[in-house]
Structure 1
């Protein structure tokens, strides 16, 4: 039976095996140097142009702000947001479409003679809507949605009513605290 490797071939294999750890170390070292190089270059460029990268304390504070719960919204604040944006106290309701929940700023408003609610009933309705918004922790989304709206609730040229719709990004199709909306 012939040996599978000759002495010359065996010594060449051993040389490659012995040289491999050194090659790996050299490759790893050059990779680390390439990896670090852009970071140092970016830090140098940032110090010339303006503030440098965030310190770990600044980064921790930024992340903690993201994790803090949103400031609750009240019925009075919601009314003031609507009045500041559109000038009148529009009706605000929650509407479910499929698995999503939306806040609708309707075309009817409190100052209108034909509005079906008294001011006390209107404020009670806003407080009820706000309790759900606070439960779902979407108060900031509502504030930003109202402030950033480009449309105006009201009637279109064709005479049909138009509401401003703000997606609340709340899944009401599943289980949990939103399961009560499955009855709609």
Structure 2
């Protein structure tokens, strides 16, 4: 009987609800780790699209940038698999630097307008300053960014 119930759709919705509840509880604790999937969900919750997320070094500061291009665009430069890998890589650094709570708060408090194209043909990103030491022994890995 269970197999018939699972194919009816109700079981799938229940599983989705359970997963959503688990993720919501996890975020309430705002732990130091973050996943690429959580980054994607935070951005979708805020702006309704899977925006490109990058790390950017400007001067002696590091930023998380939510870019204006998004996965749902036909012209987006990454496949869904590449996009997921990109987010996972960014999330690894955020976890290593222990700035996940700052990132969550930064996305939640960012302007509702979000990233996008400006009227003059330019584009705007949402930048979240990260409190990390980029002058340490591995600082040279950021020189190309």
The question of 1:117 aligning with 2:78 is answered: yes
Aligned partner of 2:3 in structure 1 is: none
Structure-to-structure mapping, 1:69-84, within 5 angstroms: 70-84=31-45
RMSD, aligned CA:
1.6
Task: Give the number of the structure with larger relative contact order, counting CA–CA contacts within 8 Å between residues 6 or more apart.
Answer: 2
Aligned partner of 1:157 in structure 2 is: 119
Aligned partner of 1:47 in structure 2 is: none
Aligned partner of 1:4 in structure 2 is: none
TM-score by length of 2: 0.74
Larger Rg: 1
Residues 183 and 111 of structure 1, relative CA distance in 2, 3 Å threshold: closer
SS of residue matched to 1:77: helix
Q: Tell me the alpha carbon deviations over residues 6-58 of structure 1, each in whole angstroms, 9 at most, x when there is no partner.
A: xxxxxxxxxxxxxxxxxxxxxxxxxxxxxxxxxxxxxxxxxxxxxxxxxxxxx
Residues 98 and 79 of structure 1, relative CA distance in 2, 3 Å threshold: same
Unaligned 5+ segments in structure 1 are 1-68
| Cα distance between partner residues in 2 of 1:106 and 1:177 | 25
Query: When the two structures are aligned, how many residues end up with a matched partner?
Result: 115
TM-score by length of 1: 0.59
Aligned partner of 2:107 in structure 1 is: 146
Unaligned 5+ segments in structure 2 are 1-29
Segments of 4+ in structure 1 off by > 3 A? 176-179
Q: Tell me the alpha carbon deviations over residues 75-100 of structure 1, each in whole angstroms, 9 at most, x when there is no partner.
A: 00000000000000000000000010
User: Is the Cα contact below 8 Å between 2:43 and 2:51 reproduced in 1?
Assistant: yes
Structure-to-structure mapping, 1:9-158, within 5 angstroms: 70-150=31-111, 151-158=113-120
Structure showing the higher helix proportion among its residues: 1
